[in-house]
Amino acid sequence: MSTAPTAGRVLVAGIGNVFLGDDGFGVATARALAARPLPPHVEVVDIGVRGVHLAYQLLDGYDTLILVDATARGHPPGTLYVIEHDDESLVTGAAGAPLDGHRMTPDAVLALLGTLCAGTGGQPPRRTLVVGCEPARIEERMELSGPVSDAVPRAVRLVEELLAAAPEPEPCPSAGEAAK
């Protein structure tokens, strides 16, 4: 297991509970994105509510993390956001709220990652983005509301645009070039 970010590797993680209506936005978007052709340095995962799993997976070393999640910010349902996460506590490994493996928000996952990295000498991703969608309803139901369902294809395109704007990883030198 590598503990340092690997140049150019990107993890796109869909977060949310599919049993709570629009909270399943991140999972639906990750599933739609995973069906698309993506560069080999991009990995898409349906994390759902397994935040601890995400934190441990990030220890494998990623340069960029894109979290996809329902994000209430007071705008009309279906509004998409790109939020750059720049919490300095990730670097320092500052402890946050008590750990609950079944209710981990993205901030709690990133705080846990900071703690894990501090203990292993690893590094969190250099860049963390959140692609969020304003939910209409977060209640017990298995389907997304109309506005949030309509936002899924737009979110897929938005993530693809973010991936296209990110620098490509540098190719590994061949054995002959490495020996020079």
Q: What is the CATH number of the domain that holds 76?
A: 3.40.50.1450
Is 157 contained in some domain? yes
Could you read off the pLDDT of 134-174 as tens digits, one per residue?
999 999 999 999 999 999 999 999 999 999 987 665 554 44
Is 179 contained in some domain? no
Is 4 contained in some domain? no
Query: The domain containing residue 78 runs over which residues?
Result: 10-163
Could you read off the pLDDT of 71-85 as tens digits, one per residue?
999 999 999 999 887
Is 5 contained in some domain? no
What's the structural domain count of the chain? 1
Is 172 contained in some domain? no
Is 1 contained in some domain? no
Let me know if 34 is exposed, middle or buried by CB neighbors in 10 A (0-12, 13-18, 19+).
Answer: middle
